[in-house]
Amino acid sequence: MRTLSIAFAIALVGLGNAQAQEPTKGSSMNSTHADHCVMATTEADWTALGLSAEQQSKVMGIQTKCKTDCAAMDASGAKEPAMSQALMEKHQEQIRTALTPEQYKQWLTWCGDRSRKG
């Protein structure tokens, strides 16, 4: 009986881990929602998502770099959608690596909710 309980507990943990796996790029929502969120998520929003001070510093730095890169691209006149999309995906990927899989999933959900309201 004890062995069965242990096996059941292990199975539940495995199921929980499988469900909590990080989403692949663009799989959870339309990437356009996250594109806008890369620059629009505020410090208060990041705090509400439960980021540590180190994570918050990283994502704020990523956002600053994203704004700088976008401004440089606009100034150069290179407003090709493919270039813009690639730039946003690069920064979104950097945010993904700065967050835990659960935080990233929550952020994508927040971005989708935000875009539906706005």
* pLDDT higher than 60, residue 113: yes
Task: Give the model's pLDDT for residue 112.
Answer: 87
Question: 34 is written with which tokens?
Answer: 């996250």
- Does the CA dihedral 59-96-115-106 come out positive or negative? negative
Which tops the pLDDT comparison, 66 or 4? 66
* Alpha carbons 88 and 105: distance in angstroms, whole number: 17
Task: Give the model's pLDDT for residue 21.
Answer: 41
pLDDT tens for each residue of 21-77: 444 444 344 445 556 788 889 999 999 999 999 999 999 999 999 888 888 887 777
Domains in the chain: boundaries: 30-117
Confidence of residue 78 (pLDDT cuts 50, 70, 90): low
Task: Give the model's pLDDT for residue 69.
Answer: 86
pLDDT tens for each residue of 44-58: 999 999 999 999 999
Task: Calculate the CA 7 to chain-centre distance.
Answer: 34
